[in-house]
Chains A and B, each alone.
Chain A
Amino acid sequence: EAGVVQSPRYKIIEKKQPVAFWCNPISGHNTLYWYLQNLGQGPELLIRYENEEAVDDSQLPKDRFSAERLKGVDSTLKIQPAELGDSAVYLCASSPRGAYNEQFFGPGTRLTVL
């Protein structure tokens, strides 16, 4: 069984540029999560999807961050414009419906903003 797939694995951009991250969850997993992991910190939830509906986006900085999961499968997280402080690892995770405590994580995208 394939795990959670994320791309790209690494991204380097200049500040004020846009950037997008892609995630494909484990097949059949209805719930998808995006986490932010700063250096030396644990992951922090940005947004949680149940199928195509964002059910918890309270921690997503909506002035510059957006996310979508149009068909309830793969998802894209976008930052526009990126700031220096956005340099971090962006993790995607998925879980079966209702099993919020059975999360499987992807390898993450490491973003560096110059």
Chain B
Amino acid sequence: AQSVTQPDIHITVSEGASLELRCNYSYGATPYLFWYVQSPGQGLQLLLKYFSGDTLVQGIKGFEAEFKRSQSSFNLRKPSVHWSDAAEYFCAVAPNRDDKIIFGKGTRLHILP
């Protein structure tokens, strides 16, 4: 069965610093990959998704993610974080477009002023 691993439960960065959140998946073929963000008391919002094509995907709020097949990874990056980026980030995978989405356990991002 496919799964997704987010190895970091908490990440703390200073405002203005760069950010990378890690995500690894286990699945033979190239799955559909997603990053969602959840602010406190809010539902999940889709940041970006990858289905095929260019392995560097641009999303909303200045985020990007890179698909690396050889490493089974889909890491999320942002060059300069803002205090408003403090939230929980979920990586997710689906084997194909008709299958349910499996979410990782999330990484909580803390921003230092």
Interface on A for B, CB 8 Å cutoff?
A: 3-4, 9, 40-45, 48, 56, 91, 93, 100-108
Inter-subunit contact B94/A43 (CB<8 Å): no
Inter-subunit contact B94/A101 (CB<8 Å): yes
How many interface contacts (CB-CB < 8 Å) are there between A and B? 53
Contact of A45 among B46, B98, B101, B106 (CB under 8 A): B101
Question: How many chain-B residues does the 8 Å CB contact rule pick out?
Answer: 24
State the CA gap A68–B97 with chains docked (Å): 25
Inter-subunit contact B32/A56 (CB<8 Å): no
13 A-B contact pairs sorted by A residue (CB < 8 Å): A3-B43, A43-B44, A45-B101, A56-B100, A91-B43, A93-B43, A100-B98, A101-B32, A101-B101, A103-B46, A103-B101, A105-B43, A106-B43
Inter-subunit contact A91/B44 (CB<8 Å): yes
Closest A residue to B103 using CB positions: A42
Inter-subunit contact B94/A100 (CB<8 Å): yes
Inter-subunit contact B101/A105 (CB<8 Å): no
Closest B residue to A45 using CB positions: B100
Chain A residues lying within 8 Å of B100, measured Cβ to Cβ, are 45, 48, 56, 100
Closest A residue to B106 using CB positions: A42
Inter-subunit contact B42/A42 (CB<8 Å): no
CB distance from B24 to the nearest CB of A (A): 14
CB distance from B23 to the nearest CB of A (A): 11
B99 contacts A by Cβ under 8 Å: yes
Closest B residue to A92 using CB positions: B43
- Pairs of residues from A and B, 5 with the lowest C-beta to C-beta distance, nearest first: A42-B103, A105-B43, A105-B44, A107-B43, A106-B43
Inter-subunit contact B45/A105 (CB<8 Å): yes
**Chain B 24-48: CB-based contact to A (< 8 A → 1; otherwise 0):** 0000000010101000011111100
Contact of A101 among B34, B41, B44, B104 (CB under 8 A): B34
State the CA gap A44–B34 with chains docked (Å): 15
CB distance from A81 to the nearest CB of B (A): 27
State the CA gap A102–B41 with chains docked (Å): 21
**Among A42, A48, A107, residue most surrounded by chain B Cβ atoms (within 10 Å):** A42
Chain A residues lying within 8 Å of B44, measured Cβ to Cβ, are 43, 91, 93, 105
Closest B residue to A99 using CB positions: B97
